[in-house]
């Protein structure tokens, strides 16, 4: 048995890009409409998108921003988190989660995750709480909701703010409640690989009106509320600088895409469920850990389909396996390498791989396969064939 890595023909002729977005004609037309209107920056389409997203998530307030990272950062500032504070963060997440804490002036306190769900647990949070803890950031890994019905009461008992990182979890729900409507605030991503795509973009939903107003103010240089209207057809309006803010506002060009992506979310989710089930059936007899079953009462957003390789059954590392799929013209991803294993966090906070055994174990084995509403059945067939082909080659 030979694979493309050894100069055999690859499974696919053309490369299957990991995370390629589903873009339809309606959003292309809407972006063109924005260009022709001359209103390219933050304007009426952003306001409309915020209102639609607030309704979809059943939240009280929604503020659109240029990224989920900005949403996390500005929400922490609105919550009063700063120097001297600690924020509990799972090690198994993207660096933006921890970086936003650092940019707010606080210290991220990392905790391990459950090996099956890859999410932080109430027990790990409880063990990390100190007198300096101000907040906790549950990350809904791969689209699987954390146990928010336990985390929120635990946080309340300790007087902690809860800010959810739902970059993977727009469609998710926890025990009958929509993610985005459960805690103090929830931050979403509309990056190019996400379930809802605006190219770059993010949103914060919150129950606190004052938080929403402060995030909106900080996102546009610290200007007074409604400053984006100062050049509208209603006539010029003066603005005031209320704080030394940032440049984190969403543009109408981005919102133009979101206006049409949002109504299709459930249709796209259904397609990803179909692909998910095909993968589960196809890989059931391979030496891998399949994604854990979805808990009754939860809705999994199916953002990432992640295999955990049984390295004891293989003659290769995860990286070699990934490279072999690349040679077969199948794009893959790694979500994620635990933050405690990265030089900055390891050296700055004195961390070791043994401090987070589950996150370390996952980091060495995790491999994300293409999962998108854009995939045709033939694409899915190719992924399945390539995975089996590489397993046959490297299996002990």
Give catalytic residue positions.
194
- What residue has token string 């690349």? 326
Please name the residues in contact with 272: beta carbons below 8 A apart, sequence gap of 6 or more.
195, 302, 371, 372, 373
Give the pairing type, strands 366-369 and 305-309.
Answer: antiparallel
Distance, in Å, from the CA atom of 148 to the CA atom of 179, rounded to the nearest integer, reads 9
Query: Long-range contacts for 262-271 (Cβ within 8 Å, ≥24 apart)?
Result: 262/49, 262/52, 262/53, 262/56, 262/196, 264/24, 265/56, 265/170, 265/171, 265/195, 265/196, 266/171, 267/373, 268/22, 268/195, 268/373, 269/171, 269/195, 269/301, 269/302, 271/373, 271/375
User: What's the Cα-to-Cα distance from 120 to each of 50, 76, 102, 173, rounded to whole Å?
Assistant: 29, 19, 20, 17
SS3 content of the chain, % helix, strand, coil (to 5): 45, 15, 40
């Amino acid at each position: 048995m030979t694979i493309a890595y050894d100069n055999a023909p690859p499974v696919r002729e053309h490369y299957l890009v990991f995370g390629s977005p589903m873009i339809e004609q309606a959003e292309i037309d809407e972006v063109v409409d924005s260009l022709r209107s001359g209103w390219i920056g933050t304007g009426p389409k952003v306001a409309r998108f915020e209102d639609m997203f607030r309704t979809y998530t059943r939240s009280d307030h929604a503020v659109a921003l240029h990224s989920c990272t900005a949403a996390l950062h500005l929400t922490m500032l609105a919550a009063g988190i700063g120097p001297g504070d600690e924020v509990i963060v799972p090690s198994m997440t993207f660096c933006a989660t921890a970086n936003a804490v650092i940019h707010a002036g606080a210290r991220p306190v990392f905790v391990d995750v459950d090996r099956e769900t890859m999410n932080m647990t109430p027990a790990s949070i409880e063990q990390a709480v100190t007198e300096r803890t101000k907040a906790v950031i549950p990350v809904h890994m791969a689209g699987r909701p954390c146990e928010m019905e336990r985390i929120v009461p635990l946080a309340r008992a300790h007087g902690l703010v809860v800010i959810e990182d739902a970059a993977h979890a727009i469609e998710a729900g926890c025990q009958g409640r929509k993610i985005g409507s459960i805690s103090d605030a929830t931050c979403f991503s509309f990056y190019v690989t996400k379930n809802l795509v605006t190219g770059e973009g993010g949103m914060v939903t919150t129950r606190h009106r004052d938080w929403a107003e402060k995030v909106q103010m900080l996102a546009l240089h610290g200007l007074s509320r409604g400053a984006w209207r100062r050049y509208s057809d209603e006539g010029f309006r003066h603005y005031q600088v209320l704080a030394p803010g940032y440049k984190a506002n969403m543009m109408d060009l981005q919102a133009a895409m979101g206006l049409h992506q949002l109504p299709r979310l459930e249709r796209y989710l259904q397609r990803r469920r179909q692909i998910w089930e095909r993968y589960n059936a196809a890989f059931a007899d391979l030496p891998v850990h399949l994604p854990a079953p979805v808990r009754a009462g939860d809705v999994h957003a199916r953002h990432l389909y992640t295999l955990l390789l049984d390295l004891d059954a293989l003659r290769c590392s995860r990286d070699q396996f990934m490279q072999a799929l690349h040679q077969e013209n199948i794009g893959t991803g790694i979500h994620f390498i635990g933050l405690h294993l990265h030089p900055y966090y390891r050296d700055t906070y004195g961390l070791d791989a043994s401090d987070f055994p589950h996150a370390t174990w996952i980091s060495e084995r995790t491999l994300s396969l293409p999962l998108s509403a854009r995939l045709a059945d033939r694409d899915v067939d190719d992924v399945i064939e390539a995975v089996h082909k590489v397993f046959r080659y490297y299996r002990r």
